[in-house]
Amino acid sequence: MLRGMAVQRIGKILYAICLLLLAILMTPVAQAQVVEYVHTDALGSPVAITNESAQVIDRTDYEPYGNLIGKVNNDRPGYTGHVMDSATGLTYMQQRYYDPTIGRFLSTDPVAADANTGSLFNRYWYASNNPYRFTDPDGRCDNSPSSFCNFVKGIVLAVHDTIAPIANAIADPDGTKIDGSYDRFGPGSNPMTQGGYKFGGALITAEAIKAPSTVAGAVVDAKAPVALTEAQTKNLARFNSKLPAANTGTTVERTGKGVTFTSEVPGKVPGSQATYQKTVNSAGQTTGYTKTTTAPSGQVIHVKDKFPDKPQN
């Protein structure tokens, strides 16, 4: 009987071992991780792949307008970094499909043509017909310096830089404080962008002159709205841009035909503060500018005159 039990126990052990071996044999062997690096040219097109040993394992060449040379489209990022479609042989550029064989888009450009420069009148062309130098990031407009899109970009930058201080002036629902921090982009370095920037600035200025209470105005006083002229708004922007970062905001009050900007900045000593105050006339010229340093007790320690003898813009 004991011998029978021992045999039965040994059989169970062998059975368990067999199951374990079977499980091990059926487990797929983990493949070694392969590290590859993709290299692009100046246009962003993948042109080479190297392994972790810095050996080139694949190269890709393109015709001027992006057609693959000696390779088949494989649904991966290709010409200028855009995804290729193997089923159609086209390149997907977000807004439109592009055919590298003929060097043209298959649908019209969603961005309107520029009647002044003639840009984009060819609604199907790619990269201003200069694929060696320019690309089209999203199928709407190429990145050439003369591109009309750069002109539009300049307008957007100008609108932002003009509207930002006005938006800051009306940001506070109670009309008592203004957030003095905003970023100014500037006109950029591209001639077309600079042209758009000038045009946009002139456009906003014209609108401000026609409707100063709504375009250039700012509700900044709790008692009554204070409508800032375009010149006063620019002066306010300069005032805010030069304040220390720790300022608590700017209060704007009507003083006769002009306005007064006041901002407080907490000092390093708890309870102390510096009060910046600037008076501006109706023409937007500075008529006074002081910095008053106050002790925690409220005692005025120092008053610094930050304004020259004659009015300035």
pLDDT digits (tens, 9 = 90+) for 162-216: 666 555 555 544 444 544 445 555 556 555 555 556 655 555 554 444 443 333 3
Let me know if residue 232 belongs to a domain: yes
Last residue of a domain, which of 143, 165, 193? 143
What pLDDT digit, counting tens, does each position of 205-254 carry?
544 444 433 333 333 333 445 677 888 888 888 888 888 878 888 888 88
**Inter-CA distances, 1 with 7, 10, 12, 49, Å:** 10, 14, 17, 71
Q: What is the pLDDT of residue 118?
A: 54
Last residue of a domain, which of 104, 122, 143? 143
Let me know if residue 58 belongs to a domain: yes
Secondary structure element (H or E) that encloses residue 188, with its range = none
Last residue of a domain, which of 90, 111, 143? 143
**Residue 57 — very low, low, confident or very high, per pLDDT cuts 50/70/90?**
very high
Distance CA 166, CA 159 (A): 11
| Residues 160, 176 within the same domain | yes
Q: Which of 12-16, 45-49, 83-87, 158-162 has the highest mean pLDDT?
A: 45-49
Parent domain of 294? 150-305
Q: What is the pLDDT of residue 114?
A: 57
| Residues 200, 132 within the same domain | no
pTM given for the model: 0.43
Let me know if residue 159 belongs to a domain: yes
Rounded to an integer, the average pLDDT of 1-6 is 55
Decide if 125 contacts 168 (C-beta within 8 A). no
**Count of the separate structural domains present in the chain:** 2
Beta bridge partners of 104: 99, 125
**Residue 136 — very low, low, confident or very high, per pLDDT cuts 50/70/90?**
confident
| Residues 184, 125 within the same domain | no
Decide if 216 contacts 227 (C-beta within 8 A). yes
